[in-house]
Amino acid sequence: MKTPGKTYGLLSETSTIEETRNPLFKRNLSAHAPLQWLSRGWSDLWIQPVLSLGYGLGVFLLSVVFVWLLFIGQRDYYLFPAMAGFLIIAPLLAAGLYAKSRAIEAGERISARRMLLIRAETGTHIFFTGLLLVLLFLLWMRSAVLIYALFFGVSPFLGFSQIVPVLLTTPTGWAMLLVGGFVGSLFAGFAFGVSVFSIPMLLDRRVDSLTAMGTSMALVWNNLKPMLAWGAIVLSLFLVCLATGLAGLVIVFPLLGHATWHAYREMAGGAAHDDAPLK
């Protein structure tokens, strides 16, 4: 935002970060707010828990099948970027969990059919947002392969038994992890910003996909403390899932899905089914 009475000379003065903030999107939440979202998400999970745990089990099985197909198709070199890219499309996969939390909040009946056959307030706009996330995921996968080729050349994948020691014990491996981590963080940051609240918003309010994604990004940018804490929690719990061979997704995925709905409600404000993107 431009400070009243302040002018800027060409290449002599630039705006500060604070001047890019919009008070309309500021929520004055502490960095501890995500813990409350997790607590509410945990409560939602144990209301008809079979539905949430079954949903998490479905995501786990889909992940296992996807990994299996990578190995069967001799595309195992996609495994590491695919695991990292999972966080890009996770908000879309969690739409059914948002629907359950929304129904609980509104005092409506909860069913597996309602969670699987999503009826968004905006119709097909959620499809366009999902398509963007899928394309972003595919672009990240291709970028990861190019980064690998940049450091190791156009050669066959070494295999996991050889590539892990190379990545962890050689300067080339360290450099690739550094560059790949930086590029991956850019993809993850953008995907997190545009999707963390846009998918719940499209389920809840009559807004178009671009408005929802723009509002989501604005809410993240104007509430960096709680959102950075939330991102760290999501990443930490996802690493726990990886450490358990993805089995942790059965509980962690529905927990984060329900908690994300409560994050959206606190950030967006207002009662459910409002037509306006924000109050």
CB-hemisphere CA count at 13 Å for 167? 17
**According to the model, what pLDDT value does residue 268 have?**
83
The sign of the torsion formed by the CA atoms of 55, 217, 39, 31 equals positive
| pTM (2 d.p.) | 0.84
Q: Look at the chain and count its residues.
A: 279
Q: Is residue 102 part of a domain?
A: yes
Provide the residue range defining the domain that includes 123.
30-268
Q: Is residue 56 part of a domain?
A: yes
Q: Is residue 275 part of a domain?
A: no
**According to the model, what pLDDT value does residue 12 have?**
47
String of DSSP letters for 16-60: -GGGG--GGG-----TTHHHHHHHHHHHHHTSSHHHHHHHHHHHH
**According to the model, what pLDDT value does residue 204 have?**
87
Q: Is residue 24 part of a domain?
A: no
**According to the model, what pLDDT value does residue 16 have?**
57
**According to the model, what pLDDT value does residue 232 have?**
94
Q: Is residue 4 part of a domain?
A: no
Domain tally, the chain:
1
Q: Is residue 2 part of a domain?
A: no
The CA distance from 247 to 250, in Å, is 6
Evaluate whether 260 touches 93 at the Cβ level (below 8 Å): no
H helix intervals, the chain:
33-45, 49-72, 79-93, 95-106, 112-116, 125-152, 160-169, 171-195, 198-204, 209-221, 224-243, 249-268
Q: Is residue 55 part of a domain?
A: yes
Mean pLDDT by 10 residues, the chain (279 residues): 49 54 82 95 96 96 93 82 88 92 91 80 75 90 88 75 82 90 90 92 88 92 93 94 94 97 86 49
SS3 83: helix
Q: Is residue 130 part of a domain?
A: yes
